[in-house]
Amino acid sequence: MASEFTFPSLDWLQAVREVFNTTDMYRGAGSGRCDCVVGLKIEGAVFIVEFEGFGCTGVRQANEAELENVDFYLDMPYELWKSMLENISANNHAIGEFTLNTLDLGMEQGIAHSKHEDQYRQDLFVRYNQTMQFFFDASHRISTTFEEIVAS
């Protein structure tokens, strides 16, 4: 793909969504019906990613308060987001310590959180884990540049 997309940005998420929705291998084993609303918290920015049926139906920019309504949200230090995406880009999918589930377990408080504390909804991170993984794995097909974020 010729264009470059900056992470994090709505354009980047839309490009990933496009690849995810149109690539056969992401309909493969472990994927399938997935209905959930996922938040992404990346430094100061908040995004909402919606999955319905067999695809990602929408991505949008949001604010912190909207994280109350998502089933779960992913939150990790910017450097880790960056390392994860670089790992995906180098291997065409996440390997080793950079799969979402491994990242979640590798940190004391995990990367998947919820404001509502309803474990039934938070378990969707596991129930649809392969779908979430496929979504981020799809980023290997786009050219990503990273916004320089100075740690505060």
Partner 1 sequence: MTSSKTNGNLPDLDLGWMDQHGPWDTHAEPGKYGFTLADIQIGEYGQVPEESNNQTGRPRGSKPRANSMRLGGYTVRTKSDIWLENASFLYEEALQRQWSSATDVPWESIKPLPDDVEQAQCQMATFLTEVEFVAGDVPARWISSTTPDYFEARQVLLAQVMDESRHMDVFRKRALANGGGLMRATGATAGFVGGIDLSRDFTEMSSRLHISGEGAVLTIFRMGELMAYNDAEKTIYRLCAQDEARHVAFGVMHLRYMSQNEPDRREEIHSYLDEAEGSMLTDAANPAGRLTQTSESLCILLGGGSDKFDEGFRKLVAIRRRQLQEYRKRVISAGFGDRFDNGRSRLNELMAQAAA
Binding site for partner 1 (CB under 8 A): 28-33, 35, 52-53, 95, 99, 101-102, 104-106, 108, 117-124, 126-130, 133
- CA gyration radius, the chain: 14
Q: Name the residue nearer to partner 1 (CB basis): 7 or 128.
A: 128
C-alpha span between 70 and 49 (Å, rounded):
9
Question: Contact 51/34 with Cβ under 8 angstroms?
Answer: yes
Nearest distance from residue 93's CB to partner 1, in Å? Answer: 9
Nearest distance from residue 39's CB to partner 1, in Å? Answer: 18
Q: Name the residue nearer to partner 1 (CB basis): 2 or 120.
A: 120
Q: Name the residue nearer to partner 1 (CB basis): 91 or 143.
A: 91
Question: Contact 87/95 with Cβ under 8 angstroms?
Answer: yes
Nearest distance from residue 96's CB to partner 1, in Å? Answer: 8
Nearest distance from residue 61's CB to partner 1, in Å? Answer: 26
Q: Which two tokens stand for residue 81?
A: 């987001």
- Determine if residue 32 is left, alpha or beta; phi over 0 gives left, psi from -120 to 50 gives alpha, anything else beta: left
